[in-house]
Amino acid sequence: MEFSPDETTAILLSLKVAAWSVAASLPFAVAVGYLLARADFPGKTLFDALVHLPLVLPPVVIGFLLLLLFGRNGPLGAALDRWFGIVVAFRWTGAALAAAIMGFPLMVRAIRLSVAAVDRRLEVAARTLGASPARVFLTITLPLAVPGIITGALLSFARSLGEFGATITFVSNIPGETQTLPLAIYGATQIPGGDWQALRLSLVAVVLSIAALAASEWLTRRARLEPGSWG
């Protein structure tokens, strides 16, 4: 199966967007997952609902809100452009931002469940031996939560590969710049005789998604069998 330069660009761009979306959101997901698993604070239920809101909102709503906030005339977009010369609207970085937000709840949920499953007696024992809270987190909690972190990261990666609604609303469908794999499939269905191209790209999307899920399962099993190797 031979791909055209435009198809290859769309595939590589999808991988790039998904990788950056996970890398940028993972530290925040770990912090939020830990907070939701261990802390009790006023408004926790509302905060939890806001974190998981992208799972239930139509993706185009997320994309529209991003356009309002990060567009050139939006409050955050204008500030980034004026202070740092960064523009995300109608750029691949905007596609990564949209993908990160759509995949964030999946990552947080997996990490939260993994942190909640860590035996707190181990943390208490470390504290009684003089370890600081930061050291307990880095040497006890985080290594034991690695299976959930891996699962969340790869689920978010797979979700980012398939992101469509928020992306096309926020950054449009620009070949070579924002046209990720789902947008390329959509574009192929809109032109006469594009069914074969759409089918080829759909098969690529299926293979990439299965590979991400398989990698998640394999790495999670390895982390559970050899927890010491991750700490």
- Note the pLDDT tens digit of each residue in 19-45: 999 999 999 999 999 999 998 999 999
Decide: residue 85, CB within 10 A, 0-12 exposed, 13-18 middle, 19+ buried: exposed
What are 73-100's pLDDT values in tens digits?
A: 899 988 988 898 888 989 999 999 999 9
Rounded to whole angstroms, the Cα distance separating 205 from 28 reads 27
Closest CA to 205 of 6, 14, 2, 9: 14
CB contact at 8 A, 228 and 219? no
Q: Give Cα 152 to chain centroid, integer Å.
A: 8
Alpha-carbon Rg for the chain in angstroms:
20
| Domains annotated on the chain, with CATH | 5-230 (1.10.3720.10)
CB contact at 8 A, 70 and 89? yes
Tell if the pTM clears 0.85, that is, is over it: yes
What are 107-132's pLDDT values in tens digits?
A: 999 999 999 999 889 988 988 988 89
Query: Any idea how long the chain is?
Result: 231
